[in-house]
Structure 1
């Protein structure tokens, strides 16, 4: 390994550990000693990570308030960035908040981070065409049972117990901080980006089985069977209404017919 590469690795380790490189590869002068020089890099590193994370998690910032920076510092210390681009450092924040004390004592924090991250990744996802009603017009009647409706690749279904979407909405609109509310039962949120803007909305209990099935790649017949458990003989009309809604929302990215490649 070259001397330059060795020095770079030592400096990187020192920035993360908060101690001077060994053997010493930094030199001081009459303006600043070795420790002061290293502190500039250490502080700059943490500030840059904070800035990037704050941009990715506006809902979490509003929810946490004054404790947001200590939260980010805890995360940076526990999980230093391992990516070449700073953009992906926040990928593990929701998981960290779900398991690290004291943050894990408030499950709404991990839920909020999960929603913020889903919105961020949907925004950065590659553009994708969506299916419209005209694309369904030529499908033969006998092919509908085996038809598969594939939501956009970046679409995410999130489970939550609190009104985290209200905090994200307030953050998006620079509105006042909402009051945190915990529901008696878990609810679900859908996140997707049909065109330029990311959308997120609650999923009604009656929609959830079919939406979950579509995300899992199940056939149209199986989606109707899922709805039949709740709606009985009205399952097919209900599925037709959901299909019309999903098409209107730009949620469906492609179709797969029995024995054919994706359309």
Structure 2
């Protein structure tokens, strides 16, 4: 290993684990000792990453409070150090951590809030695309409908939430006192997406959630209709599916309608 790479490896070990080998590589002074100089970097590294977590999870931070959120950030960093070249992606596994860590797993609503906020961040950062207008529906010949597929905007995300975290998120964002965490009998499907520069989210009926998942899996329109028969009468299912498509288009979620021969 070259001297530079060895120095970098020791410095990384110090930042992540407090490895004392780095002390031999730093010169102190009368004003600032070597341990103090290194401690400045050690603390600053953690503070910067906690700031990054706050950027991705501002409502979770406000909900937990400063001290508890900082403890969460430090504990998360120990298990999942930053590995991406962009600090923006630090915290991508926070929901999984909250769901499994002994300290937090008896508060599953925290993991769901993290999942919701992460999907919002992902939706906001998704690349721009031109969306398909309603006039595109009128131009689809009847014989093309069964095999056509939908290309969804990159910002579209689906998640299932059992707790009332969307209501809590909304209250905190509006500087109101949030209601107490409350679990539903079953997980509820939710949709997150971006239209222009604004993030939207809403709950879905079971049939729309299934149809959206099928559309995201690039299933043809005929297959979506066949699956919807579980909830919708067969004679009405095509009209119902077309209604869902229309709403998705109005909400800016469709970037292309791909004919069956493509």
Is TM-score (shorter-chain normalized) higher than 0.5? yes
| Alignment partner, residue 242 of structure 1 | 244
State TM-score, norm by structure 2. 0.93
State TM-score, norm by structure 1. 0.93
| Alignment partner, residue 39 of structure 1 | 39
CA shift, 1:216, in A, is: 1.1
SS of equivalent to 1:186: strand
| Alignment partner, residue 251 of structure 1 | 253
User: Aligned pair 1:136/2:137, yes or no?
Assistant: yes
Q: From the superposition, tell whether residues 124 and 171 of structure 1 become closer, same or farther in structure 2 (CA, over 3 Å).
A: farther
| Alignment partner, residue 49 of structure 1 | 49
Is the CA contact (8 Å cut-off) linking 2:193 and 2:201 kept in structure 1?
Answer: yes
| Alignment partner, residue 24 of structure 1 | 24
CA shift, 1:208, in A, is: 1.6
Matches of 2:100 and 2:255 in 1, distance apart?
35
Q: From the superposition, tell whether residues 118 and 72 of structure 1 become closer, same or farther in structure 2 (CA, over 3 Å).
A: same
| Alignment partner, residue 181 of structure 2 | 180
| Alignment partner, residue 229 of structure 1 | 230
CA shift, 1:88, in A, is: 0.8
Is the CA contact (8 Å cut-off) linking 1:20 and 1:35 kept in structure 2?
Answer: no
Q: How big is the alpha-carbon RMSD for the aligned residues of Structure 1 and Structure 2? A: 1.6
Is the CA contact (8 Å cut-off) linking 2:119 and 2:192 kept in structure 1?
Answer: yes
| Alignment partner, residue 15 of structure 2 | 15
CA shift, 1:150, in A, is: 2.3
CA shift, 1:64, in A, is: 2.5
CA shift, 1:254, in A, is: 1.5
CA shift, 1:23, in A, is: 7.1
SS of equivalent to 2:203: strand
Structure 1 consecutive aligned stretches of length 4 or more whose deviation exceeds 6 Å: none
SS of equivalent to 2:206: coil
| Alignment partner, residue 96 of structure 2 | 95
Correspondences of 1:89-128 after superposition (within 5 Å) = 89-128=90-129
Is the CA contact (8 Å cut-off) linking 1:160 and 1:186 kept in structure 2?
Answer: yes
Is the CA contact (8 Å cut-off) linking 2:127 and 2:154 kept in structure 1?
Answer: no
Q: From the superposition, tell whether residues 236 and 211 of structure 1 become closer, same or farther in structure 2 (CA, over 3 Å).
A: same
Matches of 1:60 and 1:5 in 2, distance apart?
38
User: Aligned pair 1:208/2:209, yes or no?
Assistant: yes
Moved more, 76-85 or 38-47: 76-85
Is the CA contact (8 Å cut-off) linking 2:149 and 2:258 kept in structure 1?
Answer: yes
Unmatched runs of 5 consecutive residues or more in structure 1? none
CA shift, 1:248, in A, is: 0.9
Is the CA contact (8 Å cut-off) linking 2:123 and 2:154 kept in structure 1?
Answer: no
Deviation string 1:65-87 (CA, Å, 9 cap, x unpaired) is 35222111110121111112111
Matches of 2:174 and 2:149 in 1, distance apart?
37
SS of equivalent to 1:87: helix
